[in-house]
Amino acid sequence: MTHQPALSALSATDPEIAGLVEDEARRQHDKIRLIASENYVSPAVLEATGTVLTNKYSEGYAGKRYYEGQQVVDKVETLAIERAKALFGVDHANVQPYSGSPANLAVYLAFAQPGDTILGMALPDGGHLTHGWTVSATGKWFNAVRYGVLKETGRVDLDQVRDLAREHRPKLIFAGGTAIPRTIDFPAFAEIAREVGAVLVADIAHIAGLVAGGAHPSPVGHAQVITTTTHKTLRGPRGAMILTDAEHAKAVDKAVFPGLQGGPHNHTTAAIAVALGEAARPGFRDYAHGVVANARALAEALLERGFDLVSGGTDNHLLLVDLTNKRIGGKPAAQALDRAGIELNYNTVPFDPRKPFDPSGIRLGTAAITTRGLRPEHQPRIAEWIDRTVTAAAGGDEPAVERVAAEVRELLAGYPMPGYTV
């Protein structure tokens, strides 16, 4: 069992941490990872993340730094920027945000003042915390108005979005979220934003890889500002980017630095550049379309087994399942599935009568299993394992859960994991 890159120095210096890293690698290897926000990065991305670039402090931007010794770092960041611009077809890219939430905070800082009205998707309906939800700073510092989905269809209620925008005249409108299984209608959001004079922000953190690979419509040309993480479907390190048109570029750059952050994490910037280079290759388009094909096949197989899918299916990498008819909550189901070697998360569903920490649903995604090489023909078996485990958990049959875990390990033994060799 070997980690790639090798952990020889870490093992010699701190065997306790090295052992934990190896344990985590083995855990990732042995489980069907269906958490929609996770993936496997390539060994090249892993190597870039662990380079001596972590030693360098680089406040400012390429050619305009506050510390000396930036000759190499400027080239690294410029390369990441140029690759982002080319991959997504945008005028400007900022690759410095530490993660998705700070990237969204930078957008607020750039285009709104505390107390201004913003319009975002409600968290229980699939939105993100930073789109103005109550417990987030964005819901405390701004007048957050929220739209949702139609109860009959589970899809975004665009009539409600338009009515709320006309009534409240928000400074910002957020399109996108964290549990949206259907195609986001960026042109419709753009039309509403233009009508009320709002800046449209497309949060594509979950679907950035699908957009890059042509498996989901792009917000470019519709949203003036686009935020995204660089992991999830994009298969990069844990970082973020803000993509804009030329008009909104300067305000975003000033908001990221010096508005919110100090020096960027140069090792992460390098790994983002590597991931963007990988996403520009022809094979990545096959990967992105494979993610969607796997998600649709898994959705069909779950529907055949009587599972209730929010919106009835999926157009992207993500499925949201309401377990009410299975007589089990999302949390105990997710915990049992983890013991069965199937990793996902419990999640609220629209109009959920249960509390967020003990909700009715589970959220699944197919980005990681597609990276491992699993295909649509594997999805009925995964659906069977999910069904068996949920049934066993509802009935307290722990031996049945353990049998599923053994079958999962047997299947995954034939599908290598990037960054770890058994």
* 229 in active site: yes
Q: List pLDDT tens digits, range 172-215.
A: 999 999 999 999 999 999 999 999 999 999 999 999 999 999 99
pLDDT for 1 equals 65
Q: Is 131 annotated as a binding residue?
A: no
Catalytic entry in 47, 59, 308, 397: 59
pLDDT for 271 equals 98
Where do the DSSP E strands lie in 280-398? 308-309, 318-322, 342-343, 345-347, 361-365
pLDDT for 92 equals 98
Residue 2 has pLDDT above 90, yes or no: no
Q: Is 320 annotated as a binding residue?
A: no
Query: Which of 3.40.190.10, 2.40.160.40, 1.20.1050.10, 3.90.1150.10 is the CATH number of 285-421?
Result: 3.90.1150.10
Catalytic entry in 49, 138, 227, 229: 229
156 bridge partner residues: 149
C-alpha 41/C-alpha 39 separation (Å) is 7
Catalytic entry in 77, 125, 203, 343: 203
C-alpha 352/C-alpha 395 separation (Å) is 23
Q: List pLDDT tens digits, range 75-128.
A: 999 999 999 999 999 999 999 999 999 999 999 999 999 999 999 999 999 999
Mean pLDDT of 37-44: 97
* 59 in active site: yes
Among residues 86, 368, 365, which one has the least CA distance to residue 235?
Answer: 368
SS3 for 16?
helix
Alpha helices in 89-169 (DSSP H): 100-111, 137-141, 158-168
pLDDT for 217 equals 98
Report which of residues 4 and 45 the model is more confident about. Answer: 45
Say yes or no: domain 49-279 is CATH 3.40.50.1820.
no
Q: CB of 293 within 8 A of CB of 286?
A: no
Catalytic entry in 38, 57, 339, 409: 57
Q: List pLDDT tens digits, range 242-300.
A: 999 999 999 999 999 999 999 999 999 999 999 999 999 999 999 999 999 999 999 99
Task: Indicate the average pLDDT of the chain.
Answer: 97
Query: Strand 318-322 to strand 361-365: parallel, antiparallel, or no bridges (unpaired)?
Result: antiparallel
Query: Strand 199-203 to strand 225-229: parallel, antiparallel, or no bridges (unpaired)?
Result: parallel
SS3 for 201?
strand
Where do the DSSP E strands lie in 307-416? 308-309, 318-322, 342-343, 345-347, 361-365
C-alpha 44/C-alpha 322 separation (Å) is 38
Catalytic entry in 26, 169, 238, 254: 238
pLDDT for 4 equals 85
- Number of helices (H) and strands (E) in the chain: give both, helices first: 16, 17
Q: List pLDDT tens digits, range 306-362.
A: 999 999 999 999 999 999 999 999 999 999 999 999 999 999 999 999 998 999 999
pLDDT for 298 equals 98
Mean pLDDT of 27-56: 97
Q: List pLDDT tens digits, range 51-67.
A: 999 999 999 999 999 99
SS3 for 175?
strand
Q: CB of 144 within 8 A of CB of 90?
A: no
What is the token pair recorded at 323? 């377990």
Confidence category of residue 398, pLDDT binned at 50, 70, 90: very high
Catalytic entry in 83, 155, 171, 232: 232
C-alpha 210/C-alpha 86 separation (Å) is 15
Would you kindly state where each structural domain of the chain is located, as residue ranges? 49-279, 285-421
Q: Is 129 annotated as a binding residue?
A: yes
